[in-house]
């Protein structure tokens, strides 16, 4: 073989060798830079609290910094859309709650939560507490209902945002009991709780992380808990069924999502890490202290939950003719 022919032959062999390398082996290892978990709420709420627990543990296990970014506003659509439009490489994630499937019924969004986000898994779920300012002269749900019927539309309540779970919960309570309340929406749990503590608003549904310490300190009064059983941290507070309002169990979950198109090996790795983190005794204790129970699902089960909740809440909004716009 002539020298030029040998060179061409070696070049062809080298090219074939490159093509024979599996595509996965050519991809950079993950994670290869800091990971950002976006909380689509302002600081101070339960979503951010769960995100911080996850960020600390994931950072230790993945060997990269995991940073929590609060991108609140526009009924969570700002933070959610930021993640949807991020590169699907596993370095930008979303910590979502059940409000993720509620807000599209409030405002038009440039994304479809069932299509444009890849479900990774859930770590916990939380029920809601109905709390009142101590100046409100009621100690039970039925006493609140009786008072509200004498003052239709006069008692006001704060929420973490129009169209969110805390708003839907109060609207559902009003429908079930034949009462009316005045809605005062805020941009997150922090402001809603601050004004409840100050007496500017009289009552609110909130997750335990937002109000538990204030109830235990006597600054707020809890009337009922939406769980199927009493909350361990508040053993004297009845469930809604015990309080005389059955079939009332709004619940929020906390789960991690990524932009659609994120490689499945990355999704599966994150799901595995999350499941192991959720089983850690210190994580269970930390979340329990905030009223969050263990609730672990993988990518496929979480995706099914999102689709079911999206359809279910949409039917409730339509059938009950709820106005979630203010």
Element holding 297 (H helix, E strand): strand 292-297
Q: Is the same domain home to 115 and 146?
A: no
| Same domain? 118 vs 147 | no
Q: Give, as one character, the DSSP assignment of residue 238.
A: P
| Tokens of residue 32, six digits | 């290869």
pLDDT reported for residue 75:
75
**How far, in Å, CA of 156 to CA of 182, rounded?**
4
Q: Rounded to an integer, what distance in angstroms lies between the CA atom of residue 218 and that of residue 189? A: 19
Nearest residue to 177 (alpha-carbon basis) of 243, 230, 225: 243
Residue with tokens 């909004």: 317
Residue 35 parent element (H or E): strand 35-39
201 with 285, same domain: the answer is no
Considering only CA atoms, which of 91, 56, 95 is closest in space to residue 72?
95
In a shared domain, residues 314 and 267: yes
Distances (CA, A) of 224 to 161, 197, 214: 21, 18, 15
8: in domain:
no
Last residue of a domain, one of 179, 207, 225: 225
Kindly state whether residue 39 falls inside one of the protein's structural domains.
Answer: yes
Residues 6+ apart with CB under 8 A from 201: 133, 156, 157, 158, 184, 192, 195
CA 105 to chain centre: 16
Output the CA angle 165-169-171, nearest 5 degrees: 115
In angstroms, the CA 256 to CA 120 distance is 5
Return the pLDDT at 323. 64
Rounded-to-integer distance, Cα 76 and Cα 84, Å: 12
Indicate the helix (H) or strand (E) that contains 80.
Answer: helix 77-84
Residues 119 and 181 in one domain: no
Q: Residue 199, SS3?
A: coil
- Which structural domain, as residue segments, surrounds residue 145? 129-225
As for how many domains the chain has, the answer is 2
Q: In CATH, what number is assigned to the domain containing residue 51?
A: 3.40.190.150
Beta-carbon contacts of 97 under 8 Å, excluding residues fewer than 6 positions away, are 46, 47, 165, 252, 253, 254, 255
Series of mean pLDDT values for 10-residue runs along the chain (326 residues): 47 46 59 96 85 96 97 88 97 93 81 96 94 98 97 93 81 89 87 95 90 95 93 92 88 94 98 97 89 91 94 75 62
For residues 243 and 237, the answer to whether their CB atoms sit within 8 Å is no
Q: In this structure, what token pair is assigned to residue 105?
A: 């019924």
Examine residue 106 and state whether it is found in any structural domain, yes or no: yes
As a whole number of Å, the end-to-end CA separation of the chain is 83
Say whether both 137 and 183 belong to one domain.
yes
């Amino acid at each position: 073989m002539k020298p030029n022919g040998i060179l061409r032959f070696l070049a062809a062999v080298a090219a074939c060798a490159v093509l024979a390398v599996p595509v996965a082996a050519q991809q950079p290892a993950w994670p290869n830079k800091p990971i950002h978990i976006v909380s689509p709420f302002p600081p101070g709420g339960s979503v951010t609290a769960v995100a911080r627990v996850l960020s600390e543990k994931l950072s230790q296990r993945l060997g990269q910094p995991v940073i929590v970014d609060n991108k609140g506003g526009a009924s969570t659509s700002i933070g959610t859309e930021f993640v949807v439009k991020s590169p699907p490489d596993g370095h930008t994630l979303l910590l979502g709650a059940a409000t993720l499937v509620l807000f599209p019924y409030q405002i038009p969004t440039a994304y479809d939560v069932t299509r444009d986000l890849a479900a990774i898994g859930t770590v916990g779920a939380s029920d809601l507490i109905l709390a009142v300012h101590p100046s409100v002269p009621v100690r039970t749900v039925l006493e609140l209902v009786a008072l509200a019927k004498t003052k239709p539309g006069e008692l006001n309540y704060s929420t973490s945002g129009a169209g969110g779970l805390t708003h839907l919960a109060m609207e559902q309570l009003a429908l079930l009991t034949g009462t009316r309340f005045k809605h005062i929406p805020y941009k997150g749990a922090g402001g809603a709780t601050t004004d409840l503590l100050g007496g500017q608003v009289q009552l609110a549904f909130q997750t335990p992380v937002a109000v538990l310490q204030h109830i235990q300190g006597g600054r707020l009064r809890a009337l009922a808990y939406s769980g199927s059983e009493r909350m361990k941290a508040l053993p004297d507070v009845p469930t809604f069924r015990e309080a005389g309002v059955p079939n009332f169990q709004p619940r929020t979950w906390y789960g991690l999502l990524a932009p659609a198109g994120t490689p499945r090996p990355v999704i599966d790795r994150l799901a595995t890490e999350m499941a192991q983190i959720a089983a850690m005794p210190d994580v269970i204790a930390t979340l329990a202290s905030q009223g969050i129970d263990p609730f672990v699902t993988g990518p496929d089960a979480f995706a099914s939950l999102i689709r079911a909740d999206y359809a279910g809440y949409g039917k409730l909004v339509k059938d009950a003719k709820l106005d979630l716009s203010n």
